[in-house]
Amino acid sequence: MNASKVRKRILCLATVGAAALVLAPLLAAQGTNPNYIPSQEQKHDQEMQLKQKQLEQGNSDQATPKVEPLEEAAYKAFYDVGAKDPDKRIQLGQDFIQKYPSSRYAEGVYAGLASAYYAKQNWKEFYASSDKALALKSDDVDLLVMVGWVIPHIITPSDTDAADKLDKAERYEKQAIVAIATISKPATATDEQWASTKTEKLSQAHSALGLVYFRRQQYADAAKELQQATQSAANPDPTDYFVLGYSLQNLSRFPEAIEAYNRCGQVQGPLQDRCKQSADAVKKLAAQSK
C-alpha cells in the first residue's frame, strides 16, 4: 500500500497530553495503503493466497465430490478478475455464493470479497464477508491480520462499539501470531520467501496490536508492539513510527521518542512534517526535564 487514505487520515496529536489519534481526511484517497486499500504487495499476496486455496481445495481430498463444471467455471471467473476490478469481483462473488452457498470454494470467495470491499472502503460488507470467511476457516491468517489491522485505524471516538471492536482486533492478531508460527509453507515458495512472508505478517500483526493498545492509552504495551513491528518490517509504516514516538513521549522516554519521530520524518508523506515538528518539541521537553 502506498501513502494514502488512512495513513493520510491519521492526523496530528493536538497536545502532549492528547489521548488518541485524531482521524480526519487530509487528502482524497490516492492509490493504495495498508491503512485502507491493499498495497500492490498485499494484493499480490492475497491473490496468491486465493490461488493457493483454489489449488489446495482442488487437491486436498480424494473423497471430496467432484465440483460441477459450471461451479468450477464460476469460481475461476471470480478468481481471474483479481484485484484490478473490485466491482466486478463483488458481483461475481455475490452471484457465486447465491448459486453455490455450500461450495468448498465458499471460504475463498468470501475472502476475495473481503479484499474487494476493503478496496472499496465498504467497511460494513468488509466485516460481514470477513466474518463469513473466518466462520469457515478460523485460522485464515491473512484475514485475521487484515481485519485486526483495519479496526484500530478506522474506528472513531463516536463509535458506540469501539471497545468491542478493539477487543476483536486484539483477539484476531494474537490468534494470527500463533497461527503464523505453525502455518505450512506453500509448495511454490522457497524457504527464504516464506520466511520473509511470515516476518511481514508478524510485523503487521504487531503493528495492529500497537494501534489497539494506543487507542486504549496503554502506552507501554503500544510501544512494545510497535517496536517489534518497525524492527521487523522491510518497509516500516511511518504511521507506526509516529504512534511509537507519541507512546514513548507519554512514557517520558524522550530519546527513544525523538528517534522514532526522526525515522518517521525521513519518509516522504503527509506525516513527514508533523513528525519533524514532534521531534523538535520532544527535544525541548527533554531539555526542560533535565
- HEC assignment per residue over the chain: CCCCHHHHHECCCCCCCCCCCCECCCCCCCCCECCCECCHHHHHHHHHHHHHHHHHHHHCCCCCCCCCHHHHHHHHHHHHHCCCCHHHHHHHHHHHHHHCCCCCCHHHHHHHHHHHHHHHCCHHHHHHHHHHHHHHCCCCHHHHHHHHHHHHHHCCCCCCCHHHHHHHHHHHHHHHHHHHHHCCCCCCCCHHHHHHHHHHHHHHHHHHHHHHHHHCCCHHHHHHHHHHHHHHCCCCCHHHHHHHHHHHHHCCCHHHHHHHHHHHHCCCCCCHHHHHHHHHHHHHHHHHHC
What integer pLDDT is reported at residue 50 of this predicted model? Answer: 54
pLDDT of residue 84: 84
Cβ proximity of 18 and 152 under 8 Å: no
Express each pLDDT in 232-272 by its tens digit.
Answer: 888 899 999 999 999 999 999 999 999 999 999 999 989 99
Q: CB of 34 within 8 A of CB of 4?
A: no
| pLDDT one-digit tens code per residue, 122-175 | 999 999 999 999 999 999 999 999 999 999 999 887 889 999 999 999 999 999
- The pLDDT, as a whole number, for residue 273 is 94
pLDDT of residue 87: 96
The pLDDT of residue 140 is: 92
> Per-domain residue ranges for the chain?
42-137, 138-290
User: How much is the average pLDDT of 35-39?
Assistant: 41
pLDDT digits (tens, 9 = 90+) for 95-104: 999 999 999 9
pLDDT computed for residue 64 by the predictor: 54
Give yes or no for residue 63 having a pLDDT over 70.
Answer: no
Cα distances (angstroms) measured from residue 239 to each of 133, 189, 207, 258, 278 = 29, 30, 9, 15, 13
How far, in Å, CA of 248 to CA of 197, rounded? 28
Cβ-based neighbour number of residue 156 at 10 Å: 11
- What's the Cα-to-Cα distance from 108 to each of 56, 103, 146, 199, 221, rounded to whole Å? 11, 10, 15, 23, 34
Indicate if the pLDDT at residue 53 is higher than 80. no
Q: What is the pLDDT of residue 44?
A: 45
| pTM, entire model | 0.80
Q: Which residues contact 229 (CB under 8 A, 6 or more apart)?
A: 203, 204, 206, 207, 210, 236, 237, 240
83 has pLDDT over 50: yes
Average pLDDT, whole number, for the chain? 81
Question: Is the pLDDT higher at 115 or at 46?
Answer: 115
Q: What class is the 138-290 domain?
A: mainly alpha
Spatial contact of 144 and 179, defined as CB atoms under 8 Å apart: yes
pLDDT of residue 40: 40
Pairwise CA distance, residues 190 & 163, whole Å: 40
For 164, counting Cβ atoms within 10 Å of its Cβ (0-12 exposed, 13-18 middle, 19+ buried), the class is exposed
pLDDT digits (tens, 9 = 90+) for 181-192: 988 888 888 999
Name which residue leads in pLDDT, 82 or 117: 117
In 3D space, the residue among 87, 193, 85, 26 whose CA is nearest the CA of residue 35 turns out to be: 26
Section 62-89 average pLDDT: 83
pLDDT of amino acid 252: 95
Q: Percent of the chain scored above 70 by pLDDT?
A: 77
